[in-house]
Structure formats: structure tokens, C-alpha cells
Amino acid sequence: MPTNAIRLDKIYTGTWNEKLEYSVWYKTNKEDFKLIKDKLDTDIIYELDFNNLELQEDEYIVEFEFRFGTVKSDFHELESPVVYVNVLDNLKNGFTFTNNTRVSGDYLDVHIEDKDKWSTIIYSRKLIKSGELPKTGK
């Protein structure tokens, strides 16, 4: 997570094409991975709220993981997970931050990993009111 720009708010877990139980973990800038929720069903979309975690004032989430265990070939999402974040207030117009994602697993004692990244540019525009807006209704 680009912690110089955002803080994790909540995740909607999505659904997956294989019937499994899985867990979601998070890591902070002060602690290694901790479990937020386990025994999740791949057929159900869960809302995981990260705002209620008991973190120190200067502690924040730097990573999260979905842990599925053993899956079959062609395991994939049916409904995509959605991640909500809060953008820090002090970012200037044009500030760019980059999100990173990693998918990994083990197959026949070989660790396999794939990565992707995408950038977001902060765009802010001052709204200039050109006068009173018309009133409608009573």
C-alpha cells in the first residue's frame, strides 16, 4: 500500500470459482501479519472494516493478504474484490502514488509469483461559484 498517500478503509472480498474457506491478514508499519478474519466462504462477499482495529496513533496498515491454501488450476475471482482507501489530506494537485499487487503460491516445491502496479494522480480543482444557484420547489 502506498502509505505516503492512502490509508486502508475497507475491503469487499469478492467471490471465487472454487468452494473454499480462506482468511484475510494485515501487516502494519509496527507489527508483522495478523489475522483480521478467517473461515471466510469463497461464495460470499464480506465487508471487512479496517477502521475498528486497535492500532497505535502512528500505526497504519502497509499490506494485506488473502490466504486461500491449496487451490486447483484456473482458480480465479468471479466477482472482483474491491478495496476502499482514504486519501491523505495533505496531498498536492498532481501528486502521484503507485499501488502494487502480488499473487504468489507454491507448486511442486517451486515458489511462483506475479506482480502488477498502477499509478494514480491526485487531481484537485477549485470550484468557483458564479453566483446564487436557482431555487426550485417551495
For the chain, domain boundaries: 6-89
* Residue 134 pLDDT: 77
Is residue 103 within 8 A of residue 71, CB to CB? The reply is no
pLDDT digits (tens, 9 = 90+) for 79-94: 999 999 999 988 999 9
* Residue 17 pLDDT: 97
Is residue 119 within 8 A of residue 98, CB to CB? The reply is yes
Check whether 133 has a pLDDT greater than 80: no
Q: What percent of the chain has pLDDT over 90?
A: 75
Per-residue pLDDT, averaged over 53-70, amounts to 93
The residues, any chain, with a CB within 8 Å of residue 3's CB and separated by 6 or more, are: 29, 60, 62
* Residue 138 pLDDT: 67
Check whether 76 has a pLDDT greater than 90: yes
Check whether 38 has a pLDDT greater than 80: yes
Indicate the burial class of 40 (C-beta count within 10 angstroms; 0-12, 13-18, 19 or more).
buried
Q: What mean pLDDT value characterizes the chain?
A: 92
